[in-house]
């Protein structure tokens, strides 16, 4: 299954309810699981993004759907980037 990096910023709504971050993440995780995806690892970060997560999803269409559904919850604004394993990329350059 393909991997994606989600680079997320908390919305004002999320900042106002930061004590409920575990619930916000649980709601996002539920959306992913209901669509055949999963969070492989997630980190809270300093700088431009508040959360960076590596997710696994069936395909680009599903990753886009998940991104839209999570954005609709109002807690995160995110960019989702397809992640190609480095060795797969290297192998593709040799063909």
Question: Could you read off the pLDDT of 5-59 as tens digits, one per residue?
Answer: 999 999 999 999 999 999 999 999 999 999 999 999 999 999 999 999 999 999 9
CA-nearest of 47, 2, 4, 50 to 25 is 50
- Counting every residue written for the chain, the total comes to 95
Does residue 86 carry a pLDDT above 80? yes
Residue-level pLDDT at 41: 96
**Distance in Å from the first CA to the final CA of the chain:** 22
Domain containing residue 37 = 3-93
- From residue 39, give the alpha-carbon distance in Å to each of 48, 57, 88: 21, 9, 21
Chain centroid offset of residue 79 CA: 8
Does residue 95 carry a pLDDT above 80? no
Does residue 82 carry a pLDDT above 90? yes
The model's pTM is 0.87
Which CATH number belongs to the domain containing residue 65 in this structure? 3.30.70.920
Provide the number of structural domains found in the chain. Answer: 1
Residue-level pLDDT at 76: 94
| Contacts of residue 48, Cβ cutoff 8 Å, sequence gap at least 6 | 7, 9
């Amino acid at each position: 299954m393909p991997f994606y990096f989600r680079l997320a910023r908390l919305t004002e709504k999320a900042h106002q309810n930061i004590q409920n971050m575990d619930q916000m993440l649980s709601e996002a995780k539920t959306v992913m699981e209901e669509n055949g995806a999963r969070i492989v690892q997630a980190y809270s970060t300093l700088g431009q993004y508040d959360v960076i997560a590596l997710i696994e999803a069936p395909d680009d269409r599903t990753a886009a759907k998940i991104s839209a559904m999570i954005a609709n919850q109002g807690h995160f604004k995110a960019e989702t980037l397809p992640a190609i394993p480095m060795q797969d990329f290297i192998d593709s350059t040799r063909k």
